[in-house]
Amino acid sequence: MTSTAATRRIDSEAVTSGPPNLAVQPLDGPLGCAITGLDLSRVVDDAAAARVRDAFIEHKLIVFPRQSLGEADLVRVSHLFGDPVVHHVGEYLDQDFPQIMRLSNNVVDGKPLGAPNNGIFWHSDQIFREQPMLATLLYGVQTPLTSGGDTLFSDMYAAFEALPEEMQAKLLPLQAVHSFVASYERNYVRARSLSAEDKALNPDVVHPVVRTHPQTGRKALFVDPDSVTRIMGVIPQESEDLLSFLFAHIADERFVYRHAWTQGDLAVWDNRCLMHCATSYDDSSEIRLMFRTQTQGDRPV
Ligand code: SIN
């Protein structure tokens, strides 16, 4: 997988409206912005909330650097982006705040503190649901100092718009099958195995290969290598060829921003027009602990 080595630029010029110190500055890459001048451990007022939501739609990814958030703060901030949804993998949920899932390589007294090696394939969160996630919030509680653990984000509007017209026209009517089971078995190798009942309760779903964002009206590629099993209405070889092409295309560095985490960063992204994936780090010498929440989306069309 290739990606840009774009870095964050968080020094920013003051903007002209909203709370006096709030500033929105594009990141040094093809997508995303940093928002500074907003302390998310305090209640965000209506004017600031409106600025944040506008930036979310315009930039698709927001990084709030150097925050100091407790669990209750993170849940409160999540509500700015919709209704939080409790993750289906119960092992890694916070006991007091089940809206928070922990991701970590750390093990204390033989008990994992969070899901290890989660999200290492490009994906859009819970695309295998009839109503996949709208926003995901990821907070860096403890982040690797020297060895990676970055998160990559790829712009699915740009990926669709970069395709030749004939390929766009070919993809527009197509639908793909997404499998909860395939995604679970890739990501949660150390969690409990799925029972026959789990599988029956989480059947495959079908989504358009290209979705239309409900707020911007723009078209975005919507297939991920984490959960798609096939494209419908074409022969198996054509489905395989198309998927291989699309999976390479969505990871093209032209569309990718790489976020190198600093402790206290909160990233919030729009799953309706971005794919993301985690990258490796030296988990034998460094600890990574992230708190993650997600909010309810609607049915893709
Ligand atoms: C995720 O895919 O939700 C997590 C990404 C990361 O840990 O970098």
pLDDT recorded at residue 19: 73
Backbone CA torsion sign across 97, 101, 104, 108: positive
pLDDT recorded at residue 182: 92
Domains of the chain with CATH codes: 15-296 (3.60.130.10)
Is the pLDDT score of 124 beyond 60? yes
Task: Determine the average pLDDT of the residues in 2-16.
Answer: 39
Task: Check if the beta carbon of residue 107 is closer than 8 Å to that of residue 113.
Answer: yes
Atom of ligand 1 at shortest range from CA of 123: 2
Task: Determine the average pLDDT of the residues in 58-73.
Answer: 98
pLDDT band at 203 (very low <50, low <70, confident <90, very high): very high
Min mean pLDDT across 65-79, 178-192, 231-245 is at 178-192
Q: What is the value of pTM for the model shown?
A: 0.92
Neighbours of 150 (CB within 10 A): 18
Min mean pLDDT across 14-18, 148-152, 243-247 is at 14-18
278 C-beta closer than 6 A to ligand 1:
yes
294 C-beta closer than 6 A to ligand 1:
no
Backbone CA torsion sign across 188, 189, 191, 194: positive
Is the pLDDT score of 268 beyond 90? yes
Residue, of 79 and 111, whose pLDDT is higher: 79
293 C-beta closer than 6 A to ligand 1:
no
Residue nearest atom 4 in ligand 1 by C-alpha distance: 119
Is the pLDDT score of 11 beyond 80? no
pLDDT recorded at residue 18: 52
Q: What is the pLDDT of residues 222-267, one digit of tens each?
A: 999 999 999 999 999 999 999 999 999 999 999 999 999 999 999 9
The alpha carbon of 290 and the centre of ligand 1 are apart by a number of angstroms equal to 8
Is the pLDDT score of 173 beyond 80? yes
Is the pLDDT score of 144 beyond 70? yes
Residue, of 25 and 8, whose pLDDT is higher: 25
288 C-beta closer than 6 A to ligand 1:
no
Is the pLDDT score of 35 beyond 50? yes
The alpha carbon of 117 and the centre of ligand 1 are apart by a number of angstroms equal to 9
pLDDT recorded at residue 20: 76
